[in-house]
């Protein structure tokens, strides 16, 4: 049987300050040319990432994660995008919560240089946004976003091809574009390996990493084993689960455990649109769903959100984790720090759901905190 291990994709984030002046215009291409993003062939590591730094000489690394970010959608009266059209920064109120060495979101909106006309037969839940949304992500401090989710196909092949190109030109790394692979970023001397995928999508869907849930552990395990050797931090970003469910199924938990056992330090889930448990598994963390973060939903529970902050003080060793409570305002639609009674609702929800899985979070001011300073437990 041929090996299912794919080449290691090595990506280094570009600075947003180096974005070309022509970012908002599509690049010139030959007529009819089509290219779907796939794993990049490896080049000599010495040119792309610096040599490993001794653990004792490294500063700490902090990563922040949020759930679903959706900018615009088609409605019967046409395209609707209240964020980009206004030119506002929807992340302004939570900038201090997102601030870290690398902030990561699930971008559930394909980006295109030219918006397609509305198709009346596909209006109900069809998301997309213009290339200008990438600037909004940069303004929010995001350095990487997962594009592997069930809405990746909403803008057709144009969206599959143009989304990763637009993001890269803005200085944001697209995770999960093309085939299932490992993508390696570097921050503060740490090599951070990402494996991003979706278990939801059309049968045979191509263009992003799409894997059936019952195949995830088998397909991802060899990639994670290799990433564990080559990187200092290993993150799985996975679009999975049932919408609006309070808890993961037993099978989804077993898949998460197998991902951790294969080498993941963090499993970051999204798709259910609500906060779910954040479970400690030995020295790793599993966030089954971080809920919504920028999303058009007027119901109470889906508007409860949070920013997960994870601190590493040496390779593959989480020293501490925090959850900053957030809620999504109705108008203007944007995340804001959740304080007082709303903050307590966020804390209570995550504490109760996590306690059922054997993980106890403690209150630390407005936040929830979890200490994992003894690695491997």
Return the pLDDT at 49: 45
Is the pLDDT confidence value at 314 over 70? yes
Return the pLDDT at 203: 86
Return the pLDDT at 38: 33
Is the pLDDT confidence value at 155 over 50? yes
Query: Residue 234: helix, strand or coil by DSSP?
Result: strand
Q: Report the top-level CATH class of 46-371.
A: alpha beta
Evaluate whether 162 touches 16 at the Cβ level (below 8 Å).
no
Return the pLDDT at 85: 60
Higher pLDDT, 95 or 117: 95
Is the pLDDT confidence value at 297 over 90? no
Is the pLDDT confidence value at 327 over 60? yes
Q: Which of 79-88, 223-232, 367-376 has the lowest mean pLDDT?
A: 79-88
Summarize the confidence of residues 203-221 as an average pLDDT.
Answer: 95
Cα separation, 186 vs 123, whole angstroms: 40
Is the pLDDT confidence value at 9 over 70? no
Please report the DSSP string for 256-269 in residue order.
HHHHHHHT-SEEEE
Is the pLDDT confidence value at 204 over 80? yes
Evaluate whether 154 touches 102 at the Cβ level (below 8 Å).
no
Return the pLDDT at 77: 54
Summarize the confidence of residues 344-349 as an average pLDDT.
Answer: 98
Please choose, from the candidates 110, 210, 239, the residue with its C-alpha nearest in 3D space to the C-alpha of residue 165.
Answer: 110
Q: Kindly report, residue by residue over 227-261, the tens digit of the pLDDT.
A: 999 999 999 999 999 999 999 999 999 999 999 99
- Which secondary-structure segment (H or E) carries 213? helix 213-230
Return the pLDDT at 88: 81
Confidence band, pLDDT 50/70/90 cuts, at residue 53: low
Can you give the C-alpha Rg of the chain in angstroms? 19
Q: Which of 92-101, 130-139, 173-182, 248-257 has the lowest mean pLDDT?
A: 130-139
Mean pLDDT, rounded, of the chain: 84
Please report the DSSP string for 134-181 in residue order.
HHHHHHTTEEEEE--STTTTTTHHHHHHHHHHHHHHHT-EEESBSSS-
Evaluate whether 323 touches 359 at the Cβ level (below 8 Å).
no
**In this prediction, what percent of the chain has a pLDDT beyond 90?**
68
Domain ranges for the chain, please list them: 46-371
Cα–Cα distances in angstroms (integers) from residue 327 to residues 99, 121, 286, 335, 362, in the given order: 17, 33, 21, 6, 20
Return the pLDDT at 222: 98
φ/ψ region of 45 (left if φ > 0, alpha if ψ in -120 to 50, else beta) reads alpha
Cα separation, 175 vs 195, whole angstroms: 8
Cα separation, 319 vs 373, whole angstroms: 4
């Amino acid at each position: 049987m041929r090996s299912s291990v794919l080449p290691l994709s090595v990506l280094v984030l570009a600075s947003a300050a180096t974005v070309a002046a022509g970012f908002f215009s599509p690049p010139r291409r030959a007529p009819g040319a089509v290219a779907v993003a796939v794993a990049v062939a490896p080049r000599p590591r010495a040119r792309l990432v610096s040599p490993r730094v001794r653990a004792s000489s490294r500063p700490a690394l902090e990563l922040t994660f949020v759930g679903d970010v959706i900018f615009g959608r088609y409605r019967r009266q046409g395209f609707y995008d209240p964020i980009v059209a206004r030119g506002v920064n929807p992340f302004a109120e939570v900038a201090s919560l997102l601030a870290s060495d690398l902030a990561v979101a699930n971008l559930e909106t394909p980006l295109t240089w030219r918006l397609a006309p509305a198709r009346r037969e596909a209006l109900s839940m069809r998301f997309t946004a213009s290339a200008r949304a990438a600037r909004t992500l940069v303004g929010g401090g995001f350095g990487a976003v997962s594009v592997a989710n069930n809405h990746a196909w909403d803008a057709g092949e144009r969206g599959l091809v143009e989304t990763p190109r637009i993001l890269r030109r803005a200085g944001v790394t697209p995770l999960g574009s093309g085939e299932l692979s490992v993508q390696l970023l570097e921050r503060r001397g740490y090599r951070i390996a990402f494996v991003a995928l979706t278990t939801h999508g059309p049968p045979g869907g191509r263009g992003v990493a799409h894997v059936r849930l019952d195949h995830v552990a088998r397909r991802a395990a060899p990639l994670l084993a290799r990433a564990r050797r080559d990187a200092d931090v290993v993150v799985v970003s996975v679009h999975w689960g049932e919408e609006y469910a309070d808890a993961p199924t037993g099978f989804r938990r077993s898949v998460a455990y197998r991902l951790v056992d294969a080498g993941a330090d963090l499993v970051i889930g999204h798709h259910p649109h609500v906060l779910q448990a954040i479970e400690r598994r030995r020295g790793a963390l599993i966030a089954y769903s971080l809920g919504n973060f920028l999303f058009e939903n007027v119901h109470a529970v889906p508007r409860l959100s949070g920013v997960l902050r994870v601190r590493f003080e040496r390779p593959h060793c989480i020293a501490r984790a925090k959850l900053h409570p957030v809620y999504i305002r109705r108008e203007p639609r944007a995340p804001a720090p959740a304080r007082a009674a709303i903050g307590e609702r966020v804390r209570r929800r995550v504490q109760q759901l996590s306690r059922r899985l054997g993980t106890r979070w403690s209150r630390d001011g407005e936040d929830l905190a979890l200490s994992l300073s003894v690695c491997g437990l």
